[in-house]
Amino acid sequence: MKRIAVLTSGGDAPGMNAAVRAVVRACAFYNLECFIIYKGYQGLIENSIDKANARRVNNIINKGGTILKSARSSDFRTSSGRKKAYNNLIKYNIESLVVIGGDGSFNGARIFQKEFNFPVIGIPGTIDNDISGTQYTIGYDTAINTVIQVIDKIRDTAISHNRLFFIEVMGRDAGHIALHSGIGAGAEEILIPEEDRGLKKLLISLKKSEKTGKASSIVVVAEGDKTGKNVFELASYVEKNLPDYEVRVSVLGHMQRGGAPTCFDRVLASRMGVFAVESLIEGKSSVMVGIENNQMKLTPLQNVTKIKSATNEDLLRLTDILSI
């Protein structure tokens, strides 16, 4: 093993740059040549490949987003597109590929590896924390801390005007961000895709809060919540049934993906990047790097799936106890 390439794919996540830095510098440490690929799989097809040394990745560990850019690639979904990508790797005598991304990126990597018998290893980078085979994904810790900081600010104005705020956070089909940031920010209610707690229970909880003297309330809603209503419809429903509440909605959106990564994400990304290179040196392929109980591990790409369940009965119980 003498030449390794690295790319970022899918949605950006804080800490991806730290992972790229770790891969490049681990290659330098082990006297391997490293190549960086811009714009994900599409860049690989378009030959957007450049050689990188340790100095090339100076001062990026603290940067959000990804310096390598990311892009969707419909071409990579085709066999002809993947063939072009493979030919470009061979052109540079690249012997293995590190893919930093989510479940869609890993599915592409798995197909590519199987098609060309080309060594590939994945590093999980997504704020949703919804990848099996790892306890944490790169970007998740930064995202929940960003959400908490914003909710703290919203609570200030909620208290000042005695308002009820519905705050929508990212996560698609997984409620990790909503559940953990909601508890951390002291939300009165948390609505996640994994638990359909029902609209009636929401009304009962808010009525109870009002009777106990709460002048303002925060409800954190995961974007994939199963109440059957989007966050604006939820707000209208509550306003109609609880006219004493002055209701507002705040959709946090893509700010959750941005910003400097936390120390946790920087360290996690650094560990994963180095472990990925060391695993390739050892001959490992078609696996994803993960972490479990603070120990690095490898999971076959064929076993890596998108997990939907964020259900933690203990955390759900906490929300009921602490929102009293």
Active site residues: 128
Closest CA to 24 of 1, 47, 4, 8: 4
Paired with 99 in beta bridges are 7, 122
Q: Residue 34 contacts by C-beta under 8 Å, 6 or more apart in sequence?
A: 3, 4, 5, 6, 23, 24, 27, 28, 51, 52, 53
Neighbours of 253 (CB within 10 A): 11
| Overall size of the chain counted in residues | 324
- Calpha distance 185→182 (Å, rounded): 5
- CB 4 within 8 Å of CB 98: yes
| Helix (H) or strand (E) run with residue 7 in it | strand 3-8
- Calpha distance 118→33 (Å, rounded): 17
H helices of 46-198, in order, are 79-91, 103-116, 140-161, 176-184
171 token code pair: 């996560």
The DSSP 8-state label assigned to residue 262 in this structure reads P
